[in-house]
């Protein structure tokens, strides 16, 4: 883990402001949630690096997608694939499809193409997306509460791909918000 946290610092994650402090703190928070939910190591590592290529909602890039091999060398091919999918997800197109489209197609914002994902990829992606939003929500409850209806709808549609631990964490967090 120390190798990864040092690498994230080297590429500038600790210097980038994020909604809940620094990007580095957020990446570690997502990793911790995924670890707590007993996700496979590849999913946890993907959570730790999930936005190094930027995202549709956070354009700041630490690494260009043409340098994907450097991330593969650090975390492995499977984890990097999940990082790429998180970054490439065109949320306004893909999110409404989840739970609605059959078969479900992912829309890649980098290539502007639709394609199918394997079940393991959907599972990893949904776990990371939930961990991302819960970490943000834990540090900015007002924002999460403001968008609670949206999150409840989206995360309910994620449930077929989520672990029981992730589902429980989501409901516990939402109950805390309402108390």
Chain centroid to Cα 137, Å, comes to 13
Strand partners for 67: none
CA R_g for the chain: 15
Domain that residue 31 falls in = 2-178
Structure tokens belonging to residue 64: 């260009």
CATH of the domain at 30: 1.10.3210
**What average pLDDT score do residues 155-175 get?**
96
Residue 154 clears pLDDT 80, i.e. is over it:
yes
The model scores a pTM over 0.85: yes
Mean pLDDT estimate for the chain: 93
Chain centroid to Cα 115, Å, comes to 19
Task: State the Cα–Cα distance between residues 41 and 48, nearest whole angstrom.
Answer: 10
**Could you tell me which of 114, 121, 62 has the C-alpha nearest to residue 86?**
121
- Predicted confidence at residue 101, as pLDDT, reads 67
Q: Which residue has the higher pLDDT, 19 or 119?
A: 119
Question: What digits encode the pLDDT tens for the residues 44-53?
Answer: 999 999 999 9
Question: What digits encode the pLDDT tens for the residues 68-114?
Answer: 999 999 999 999 999 999 999 999 999 999 988 678 899 999 999 99
Specify the number of domains making up the chain: 1
């Amino acid at each position: 883990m120390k190798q990864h946290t040092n690498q994230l610092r080297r590429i500038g994650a600790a210097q980038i402001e994020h909604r809940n402090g620094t990007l580095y703190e957020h990446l570690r928070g997502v990793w911790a949630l995924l670890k707590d939910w007993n996700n496979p190591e590849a999913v946890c590592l993907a959570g730790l690096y999930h936005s190094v290529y930027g995202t549709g909602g956070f354009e700041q890039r630490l690494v260009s997608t043409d340098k994907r091999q450097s991330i593969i060398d650090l975390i492995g091919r499977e984890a990097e694939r999940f990082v790429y999918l998180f970054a490439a997800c065109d949320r306004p197109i893909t999110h409404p499809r989840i739970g609605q489209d059959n078969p479900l197609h992912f829309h890649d914002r980098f290539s502007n193409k639709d394609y199918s994902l394997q079940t393991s990829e959907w599972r990893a992606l949904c776990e990371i997306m939930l961990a991302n939003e819960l970490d943000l929500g834990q540090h900015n409850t007002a924002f999460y509460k403001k968008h609670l209806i949206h999150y409840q709808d989206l995360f309910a549609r994620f449930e077929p791909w989520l672990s029981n631990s992730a589902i429980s964490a989501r409901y516990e967090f939402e109950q805390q918000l309402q108390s």
